[in-house]
Structures are given as structure tokens and as C-alpha cells.
Structure 1
Amino acid sequence: MELLECTLSIDDLDSFVAELGAIGETHGTTLQAFDARYVAGPHHLKRAVELADRSIARGENVARDRAVEFLLYAAGRRQIDRALEMGVDRGENRAVVLADGGAEAAALEDVRELAAFAGTASTLEALDEDVLQEFFEIPDRERAATDASLGALVRERVALLEVEK
């Protein structure tokens, strides 16, 4: 798994998603773009990929598309429409593009060539704890009751998706 932290300026979301799909097919890679505000670091996405792949291997996946299954696990939700909030949208996006399998580095180089690519940026350095707590429904009282990091609590939500199936 490789990540590209960047800024995206997306005019047509459907076209952008289609371009990611075409790049993925060319390089034998699964690509998924995330709104960086909802990502609690690289370990969050790594865990989501592991669990999504396990779900696919067991035939328990919800989505037909591996990239969408990544999104479901990263969001900790089984409903695709709710998980889509974690994806990128039209306009300016602080983003993380995940590449897994195949020629990951080459695929991410091709992402850099897309018209929507506005440049690299450190999008995972400073987490917006309020956004993460709200999106993953982590109340202040839960954070006060543990010495676990916010990232660990988010990864717990991702893992709980397996239990809640």
C-alpha cells in the first residue's frame, strides 16, 4: 500500500473517479481517494485495506468494487451512501490517494498527471480531532475514559465493522 497526500481540484467527480479506475486497471492497482479530514493517519487506511481484503476473501464484502470496500471499512460503515462522505468531492480537496497492489508507484505517478491534481501536500500531519470524533461518533466521555489515541479509537471503529456484520 502506498499513499499520496495531495490537493485535488475536481471539476467533474464522475470523470475523476473514472480516471482513477482507468489508472488502476492500467497498473493492476486499486486506487481510492479520501478526504484527508476523515483519515486518522496511515495506520487507519492500512487497517481498512487489511479488513476489506479479508472480507472479500471470505465472500462477505458489501461492495463489488475493491476500492469501494476500502472506503466502507475506512469509514466504519456498511452503507455505501454514508461511507461516500469520506471520499473526495467536487472542488478543492485536501486528499489522500491510496494505491494497493500492482504497480502502486507508477499508478500514483499517473494520478499526479491528472488535471485534478493540484500538488502534493502534507494532509495527514495535523488531524482535525473534532471532525474525526464527529464522523466516527467518538464522544468526549469515551476519550476521557481511555488513554488510547484518537487514531486507535478510529481503528477500533474500523475493526468493529467486522463484528457488526
Structure 2
Amino acid sequence: MELLECRLEIDDLDAFVSDLGEIGDRHDVTIQAFDARYVADRRHLERAVELADRAIERGENVARDRAVEILLYAAGRRQIDRALAMGVDEGETPAVVLVDGDGDERAALEAIEALNAFRERTATLDPRDGETLCNFFGIPDTERAATDAGLSALVHERVALLEVEK
């Protein structure tokens, strides 16, 4: 799995998603773009990929498309419409683009090169806005006060709980 941290300027979301799909098909990789404000850290997306792949292998996936299944796990939601809030939208967006070649690192890196036209590369995972993450993942102040776990760990827990709540 490779991550591309960038700032996107999207005029037409449908065309952008179509372009990502074409690049993914051309390089035989899965590509999913996330609004970086809702991504806790790299491990957050790694775990979403692991759980999505496990659901697909078991025939328990909700989405037909692997990229959408990854989005569901990353968002900690089973409803596609609700998970889409974690994706990118039209306008300027701090983004993290996940590219996964299912073990083929070369294919993933080639796909990232093909994505050059869509992005202005910049760090987007740090610093994180804790309030935005807490609101999106439903983490109340009382929960944060009751644990020594960091915010990333609490988000990771939400991703893992999706598997339990099926």
C-alpha cells in the first residue's frame, strides 16, 4: 500500500472518480481518495485495507468494489452513503490517496506517478484536527478522558468495531 498526501482541486467529482478508476484499471491497482481531515494516520488506512480484504475473501463485503469496501472500513460505517463523507469532494481538499497493488509495489508506484496530474503534493496527515476526527467517528470527550489511549488508537478501534457490529 502506498499513500499519496496531497492537496486536490476537483472541478468535476464524477470525472475525477472516473479518472482514478481508469488509472487503477491500467495499473491493476485499487485507488481510493480520502479527505485527509478524517484520516487518523497511516495505520488507520492499513487496517481498513486488511479488514476490507478479509471481508471480500469471506464473501461478507457490502460493496462490490474493493475501493468502496476499503472506504467503508476506513469510515467505520456500513452504509455507503454515510461513508462517502470521508471521501473527497469538489473544490480544494487536503487528501490522502491510497494506492494498493495487492502486494505489487511497483504497480502501486507507477499508478502514483500517473496521478501526478491531479495533485499538489503536500503533507496532509499532520497535524490532525482532533475535533473533526472526534465528531466524524463519534468519540465523545468523556471517552477521551477515560483512557490514556491517543486519538489515533480510538479511531483504529472504530474501524475494528465495524467488523464486530456486522
In the superposition, the TM-score normalised over structure 1's length comes to: 0.97
**Deviation of 1:81 (Å):** 0.3
1:77 maps to a residue whose letter is: R
User: What residue in structure 2 maps to residue 139 of structure 1?
Assistant: 140
Structure 1 unmatched ranges of 5 or more:
none
Q: Secondary structure at the match of 1:113?
A: helix
- 4+ residue segments displaced more than 6 Å: none
User: What residue in structure 1 maps to residue 83 of structure 2?
Assistant: 83
Structure 2 unmatched ranges of 5 or more:
none
- How far, CA to CA, are the matches of 1:152 and 1:52 in structure 2? 19
**Deviation of 1:125 (Å):** 1.2
RMSD: 0.6
User: What residue in structure 1 maps to residue 149 of structure 2?
Assistant: 148
Q: What is the percentage of aligned positions where both structures have the same residue?
A: 69
1:136 maps to a residue whose letter is: F
Map of 1:111-126 to 2, 5 A cutoff? Answer: 111-114=115-118, 117=119, 119-126=120-127
- How far, CA to CA, are the matches of 1:108 and 1:52 in structure 2? 21
User: What residue in structure 2 maps to residue 40 of structure 1?
Assistant: 40
User: What residue in structure 2 maps to residue 107 of structure 1?
Assistant: 111
1:96-117 per-residue CA deviation (whole Å, 9 max, x = no partner) reads 0000014000101111123xx2
2:30 maps to a residue whose letter is: T
User: What residue in structure 2 maps to residue 15 of structure 1?
Assistant: 15
In the superposition, the TM-score normalised over structure 2's length comes to: 0.96
1:54 maps to a residue whose letter is: R
Is 1:162 matched up with 2:145?
A: no
- How far, CA to CA, are the matches of 2:90 and 2:128 in structure 1? 22
1:56-88 per-residue CA deviation (whole Å, 9 max, x = no partner) reads 000000000000001000000000000000000
